[in-house]
Each structure stands twice: as C-alpha cells, then as structure tokens.
C-alpha cells in the first residue's frame, strides 16, 4: 500500500512509497484512512526532535491522527464493526496515518461526529485531545476562571478557546492583526494583537495559561498568573513527572529534571504550578468530544486541504506556522 514515509531523521522532505499492509492484532481495528491532519508534531518527529523519548525505526510512516472507515476488526474487538466511520489520534508508538490503511488499537478509536465530513473529523483528534487534557484533566478549569490561550488562531488554540468557553471560563488569547476578528468569533473575550500590544503587560490575575510557544513566552507567562495559578505548557520543557508517566529511563528523567528546573523554580517563587502536557490517545475522550461537536459546542477549523501526493508540501506549510486552524491531507 502507499504511504508517506521518511528513511532517516533530518530536513529532507520525505517521500511517497510502498509499505507492507498492516498486521491486525486481536484488539486492533483496521481503518481505511480517508483524511489525516498534519501537525507540527509530524515535522518535529521527522527532524528527530523526539527521538530520545519516541524511538522509531525506519522507514517510518508519519501521521498522528485520522478519519476513515473500519475495514476489519480483531477477534477481541467489540466496539466497532466494518463500515463504521471513525476518527482517532493513534498511539505514539504506532503512528502512521499518512497511509492508505492503518491498524489502530481499539481504545484509541471513536465513532466520528455525524455532522462532520471526514476532512473535518480528521482536523480534531490531536488538537481536541490536547485542549481537553490541558483544560479539563490538568487545569480542571471551572466556571468564572480566567484562562489565557496563546496563539488562538492555531490548531490547538482555536479548539481550546471553544472548549474553555463551554466550561464557563473568561478567555483571553493572542493572534496577529489579520486574525483578530476571526478569533473573536470563536468566542474569545479578550483578543490581543501581538503586533500592536505586549500581551504580558496587558493581562494579569489569570488562573491558567496554556503555553504553546517558546521559552521566552513561557517565562513571561508567569507574570500573567495570580498566586495559585497554573502554567501548562504543551511545548516544553518536559518535567520529571512526564518522564515517570512515560516510564522513560532514569537518565532521561534526570535530563528532564534539569531542563525544567529553571521554570519550575521560578513558578514556585510566584506560588504558581508548572505542568507539561504531552497529549495521549484516548477513544473515550474522543467520544465525549464527539458529543460536544454534534451539539455545536466545538467546530473544527480547516485552513487548507492537500492531496496525498502533496503531503511534503503540507508539512512544509505547517512548519511555517501561519495556518489558521488545521491542515488536512485527503487520501480518498
């Protein structure tokens, strides 16, 4: 079958090639991929940024989330049947959604929202699960709390704004001039045009910050939070707790302790808690998100759709960091 793959880490674009059909375990579901979203995570995996914590072998098929149709189910699968339309963020150790078919562990899958196309459904899993695990699982965001969501026009930001408003929070975000009105329409109460204003001088006394930017913004975000607030980063640095959760070797745990020691120390001085979230697959959470989508609470945002043969171009486009919402590859 055809797949988009890389043969080594680096800046080379990747290629379309032939790979063996996936093997289907007893708890696996074989899915014909119809659409897959392209994430910055894919570009980082290609570059080797995660090779210490995600040790892949080559050739490596890229792609982390999908929408498609069930073709076959394993002997122990009870929740799905051939013909079901599904969506998923596949497990870290079994990526490869830029392919005609993929075998997915049953508990990572969910039936896709009935009111979405396959392209729209493919836009959701990774970013919606990230928003959920930051705002619901980690922050435990409550009605009336104030949250600052960086980069509101991005894939995670555009979904996080909608989810935070559903949870009853007061939402601030940042974006460029061209996207200010569009982000307001997503529900943000305060939108800071970062080309005109310094976010970190305008906002104060917030309960939660969702950080998706670099180290400079991460540290400055501490000044936005009130005592007892939470700084939650999806872009690092990872913490010792993350290493423990991932069952990484103790050496990597020590490395992560060192990498995050500065921001954790500064957070403690301000009576703020620092957390790192590396999104995990969850079919159960996708089922909850499906309910919100079908109720009109969350709407996926798509910037562009690329043909499968142009997957390398789609990755390059995402790396530029200018997409408004999600970028999709259509396979069928």
List pLDDT tens digits, range 93-141: 999 999 999 999 999 999 999 999 999 999 999 999 999 999 999 999 9
Q: Which residues contact 247 (CB under 8 A, 6 or more apart)?
A: none
pLDDT tens sequence across 9-57 = 998 899 999 999 999 999 999 999 999 999 999 999 999 998 988 889 9
Question: Which residues, 6 or more positions from 108, have their beta carbon under 8 angstroms from its beta carbon?
Answer: 88, 89, 90, 91, 281, 282, 283
- Taken in order of first residue, the domains within the chain and their CATH numbers are 2-124+301-330 (3.90.180.10), 126-276 (3.40.50.720)
pLDDT of residue 269: 97
Q: What is the value of pTM for the model shown?
A: 0.97
149, 190 contact by CB (below 8 A): no
Q: What is the pLDDT of residue 321?
A: 83
Whole-number pLDDT of residue 55? 87
In terms of Cβ atoms closer than 10 Å to its own Cβ (0-12, 13-18, 19+), residue 69 is middle
Which residue do the tokens 């995990």 mark? 280
Q: Which residues of the chain have pLDDT under 70?
A: none
Q: Are 117 and 62 in contact (CB under 8 A)?
A: no
Measured CA to CA, the distance from residue 253 to residue 249 in angstroms comes to: 6
- Whether omega for the bond prior to residue 59 falls within 30 degrees of 0, making it cis, is yes
Report the pLDDT value the prediction gives residue 117, as an integer from 0 to 100: 98
Residues 6+ apart with CB under 8 A from 93: 54
Give the DSSP letter of residue 179: G
CA–CA separation, 223 and 324 (whole Å): 28
The rounded distance, in Å, linking the Cα atoms of 304 and 186 is 18
Show the 3-state SS of 130-159: HHHHHHHHHCCCCCCCEEEECCCCCHHHHH
Burial class (CB in 10 A: 0-12, 13-18, 19+), 186: buried
In the DSSP assignment, the letter for residue 308 is G
Which pLDDT score is estimated for 219? 96
Torsion, Cα of 239, 242, 246, 251 (10° steps): 20
The bridge status of strand 65-73 relative to strand 85-89 is: antiparallel
Structural element, H or E, at residue 53? none
Give the pLDDT score at 11: 86
Q: What angle do CA 255, 225, 128 make, to 5 degrees?
A: 70
Enter the DSSP assignment of 111.
E
pLDDT, position 323: 86
């Amino acid at each position: 079958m055809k797949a988009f793959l890389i043969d080594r880490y680096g800046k080379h674009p990747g290629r379309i090639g032939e790979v063996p059909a996936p093997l289907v375990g007893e708890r696996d579901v074989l899915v014909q991929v119809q659409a897959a979203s392209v994430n910055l995570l894919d570009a980082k995996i290609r570059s080797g940024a995660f090779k210490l914590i995600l040790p892949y072998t080559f050739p490596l098929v890229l792609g982390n989330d999908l929408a498609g149709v069930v073709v076959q189910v394993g002997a122990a699968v009870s929740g799905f049947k051939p013909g079901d339309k599904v969506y998923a963020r596949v497990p870290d150790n079994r990526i490869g959604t830029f392919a005609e078919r993929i075998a997915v562990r049953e508990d990572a899958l969910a039936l896709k929202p009935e009111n979405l196309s396959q392209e729209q459904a493919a836009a959701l899993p990774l970013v919606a699960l990230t928003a959920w695990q930051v705002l619901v699982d980690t922050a435990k965001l409550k009605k009336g709390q104030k949250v600052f969501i960086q980069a509101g026009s991005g894939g995670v930001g555009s979904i996080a704004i909608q989810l935070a408003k559903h949870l009853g929070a007061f939402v601030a975000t940042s974006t460029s001039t061209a996207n200010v009105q569009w982000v307001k329409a997503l529900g943000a109460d305060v939108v800071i045009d970062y080309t005109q204003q310094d976010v970190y001088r305008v906002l104060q006394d917030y309960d939660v910050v969702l950080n998706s930017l670099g180290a400079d913004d991460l540290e400055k975000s501490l000044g936005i939070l009130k005592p007892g607030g939470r700084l939650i980063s999806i872009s690092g640095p990872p913490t010792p707790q993350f290493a423990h959760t991932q069952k990484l070797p103790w050496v990597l745990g020590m490395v992560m302790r060192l990498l995050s020691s500065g921001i954790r120390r500064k957070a403690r001085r301000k009576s703020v808690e620092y957390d790192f979230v590396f999104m995990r697959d969850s079919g159960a959470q996708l089922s909850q998100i499906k309910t919100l989508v079908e109720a009109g609470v969350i709407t996926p945002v798509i910037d562009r759709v690329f043909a499968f043969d142009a997957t390398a171009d789609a990755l390059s486009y995402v790396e530029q960091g200018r997409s408004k919402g999600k970028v999709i590859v259509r396979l069928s």
